[in-house]
Amino acid sequence: MVDLLGVFDRIVPDGTKRTLYHYVLIDFLCQKIGGDILAAADAADAAWFTPNEVAQLSLAEDTAGVIRTALQRCGLGSH
């Protein structure tokens, strides 16, 4: 792990405005040290993307923001 990028709440209400799910997302900037990327039980797939490929993905704005922050901290994002 290189750095903490952010801590975010994602609250999903049910139809009556009560909380159905409450996620706390903790995003880290990490450096690969070896091995292959694999999806675990919580994901259908896992893949590496170039910064140009990431820009073409349809992502939630908060997700795109975390990725932009990570790219900037690595010197790969626009300033």
Taken in order 31, 5, 57, 44, the sign of the CA dihedral is positive
The pLDDT assigned to 56 comes to 94
pTM, two decimal places: 0.73
The pLDDT, as a whole number, for residue 12 is 94
In the chain, where the domains are located = 3-73
Asked if 1 contacts 28 with a C-beta cutoff of 8 angstroms, the reply is yes
pLDDT of residue 22: 97
Place of tokens 């675990």: 40
Per-run averaged pLDDT (10 residues), the chain, 79 residues: 92 94 95 93 94 93 92 81
1's tokens: 């792990």
